[in-house]
Amino acid sequence: MKINKDSKLNMVKYPPIFLLILICVLSCDLDETQEVVTLDNLVWADEFDTDGAPNPEHWNFEIGDGTKQGIPGWGNNELQYYTDRPQNVKVENGVLLITARQESFEGNNYTSARLTTQNLFEQKYGRYEARIKVPYGKGYWPAFWLLGNDCDVNPWPACGEIDIMEYLGDEPTSVFSTIHGPQYSGAESISKEFSLENGRFDTDFHVYGMEWSPNRINFYVDDVLYHSLTPEDVDEETNGTGNWIFNDRAFYIILNVAVGGNLPGNPNSETVFPQSMVVDYVRVYN
């Protein structure tokens, strides 16, 4: 139920008992859509306050290109070769820079970087958030996302994937969030877009958040809730064939910038290189 903030309730027309009922209804609606209570116990963070390579106690590098099959994002016909070179990933002036470049490297025409917290930090449930500014141009595909920690033995999509923020570089006013699992992965995943009415995601930082509990996942942009999913939603979207797999394993964090591939399409003559995804911080609460 939605009430226009500018509307005024006439106290004569609507007696106090009606107002009490109305307040109860509104409160119930809000509680139902925001099942996860505000989480403020910080359990892990990287503020990127030391220049140089990313903290090795926090981040791994995944190295290679799209020939490595079986891992999400590596079978999408992408064009980049992920490296651990400072040209592609470094901490500088209080931010993490993941930079995509157009260059010949290991048989590929583009380079970039993909960082994960696999085996370093993995958690089930909680609030995950990052403050990020993204690049602009056809072919860029930066993301902030989670992957189930058993993907090595329980291949995707059975291990599960939670995409907190994905962005296509030629659509600068929109981002989207997505979940993947058995019977709802790839093109059949469950996704929703968030668009800015004024502004662009490549010209300023925005905070992308996700709150995850046993039976609900909420997605936020700048603390605005725009996507809320439950086991019932998965059941409805898959006609009863999909399973809610987000309550039986921990997940780890991934930050990357892909170039080209099936989803974003390949860069064109107007795409400017190099450009970076700029990450101010990543924080996790429970």
**Beta-bridge mates of residue 60:** 116
Query: What integer pLDDT is reported at residue 39 of this predicted model?
Result: 80
Identify which has the larger pLDDT, 156 or 5. Answer: 156
Query: What integer pLDDT is reported at residue 37 of this predicted model?
Result: 52
Contacts of 24 (CB under 8 A, 6+ apart): none
Strands (E), 80-205: 80-82, 89-92, 95-105, 108-112, 114-116, 122-123, 126-133, 140-148, 161-166, 174-180, 190-195
pLDDT tens digits, one per residue of 175-229: 999 999 999 998 899 999 999 999 999 999 999 999 999 999 999 999 999 999 9
Query: What integer pLDDT is reported at residue 20 of this predicted model?
Result: 37
d(CA 81, CA 99) in angstroms, rounded, equals 12
What Å distances lie between residue 88 and 12, 93, 108, 205, 252, CA to CA? 66, 16, 14, 20, 21
d(CA 51, CA 6) in angstroms, rounded, equals 48
Percentage of the chain modeled with pLDDT above 90: 79
186 phi and psi angles, rounded to 5 deg: 60, -130
pLDDT tens digits, one per residue of 244-284: 999 989 999 999 999 999 889 999 999 999 999 999 999 99
Which candidate, 82, 110, 113, places its Cα nearest to that of 97?
A: 113
Q: Average pLDDT of 44-56?
A: 98
Which candidate, 266, 185, 264, 249, places its Cα nearest to that of 212?
A: 249
Query: What integer pLDDT is reported at residue 22 of this predicted model?
Result: 37
The position carrying tokens 């002036």 is 93
Q: Average pLDDT of 151-166?
A: 94
d(CA 112, CA 93) in angstroms, rounded, equals 20
Position 3 confidence tier, pLDDT thresholds 50, 70, 90: very low
Average pLDDT, the chain: 87
pTM of the model: 0.86
**In contact, 94 and 105? CB cutoff 8 Å:** no
Q: Which residues are annotated as catalytic?
A: 161, 166
